[in-house]
Amino acid sequence: MNLILVGPPGAGKGTQSRLLEEKFGLKQLSTGDMLRAAKTSGSEMGKRVAQVMERGDLVTDEIVIGLISERIESEPISTGFIFDGFPRTLAQADALSEVLNKKNRNLDFVIEMQVDDEALVQRITGRFNCKECGEVYHKDTKPLEKENCCNSCDATNCFEQRSDDNESSFRTRLTNYYKDTSPLIGYYYAKGLLVSVDGLLDIEATQKNITRILCL
């Protein structure tokens, strides 16, 4: 089973990807994680990534697709993937489809996490993460159990907030999402792959709704 999670920043794609990875034995493919890993891998593709990032340039679709192709090739055909943060554009969607076809794999589901913009602003501006293990928290919906102590790894005084998790920056990110990525909704709807869930429910309820879809 291969699926894409699509939705605006802060919709909960990363959280749900990790839960699905555990529940169904799928492999999460996060482009951000792959780029960071490639940069230090020493491979030919990794060297290209490092050069681009050191120049401060945007990583091209060609490089990202190359990394995804390499990762898919490294796993047995029985392994399913969750694509988190990719594709972001129609061109990337076409490229991903081509890669999957070459690897004799199908895309089974595209799950759209629907959220209200104003609720997203509140969600994003209140979140922070542990620098040690990456666990994400929210001051209202997922607070720390102990003051200044990570619930997951017990590290202390190790929290940070993304520099662009402020209202002004986030609204800019939302605008860019609707401009570049939202056309994917129609693209995958036309292919009969799109299923929508309410991304404003709590994590467990959203997970149950996604699981119900995948088990149909």
How far apart, in whole angstroms, are the C-alpha atoms of residue 120 and residue 112? 15
What's the chain's average pLDDT?
88
Which run of H or of E encompasses 14? helix 13-24
Instruction: Count CB neighbours of 52 within 10 A.
Output: 16
What is the CA angle 71-75-81, rounded to 5? 70
Determine the 3-state secondary structure of 145 from DSSP.
coil
φ, ψ dihedrals at 160, nearest 5°: -145, 160
pLDDT over 90 (residue 157): yes
Going across the sheet that includes 109-114, the strands are 27-30, 81-84, 3-6, 109-114, 194-198
pLDDT in tens, 21-34: 999 999 998 877 77
Q: For position 41, what pLDDT does the model report? A: 76
How far apart, in whole angstroms, are the C-alpha atoms of residue 92 and residue 55? 23
How far apart, in whole angstroms, are the C-alpha atoms of residue 18 and residue 187? 25
Q: For position 108, what pLDDT does the model report? A: 95
Determine the 3-state secondary structure of 147 from DSSP.
coil
The DSSP letter of residue 59 is: P
Under the banding of pLDDT at 50, 70 and 90, the label for residue 158 is very high
What is the CA angle 125-30-118, rounded to 5? 25
Placement of tokens 């467990």 in the chain: 204
The residues, any chain, with a CB within 8 Å of residue 170's CB and separated by 6 or more, are: 9, 10, 120, 121, 124, 125, 164
Instruction: Count CB neighbours of 1 within 10 A.
Output: 16
pLDDT over 80 (residue 43): no
- Report pTM: 0.78
Known catalytic residues are 13, 88, 127, 162, 173
Q: For position 216, what pLDDT does the model report? A: 66
Shortest CA distance to 157 belongs to which of 171, 147, 168? 147
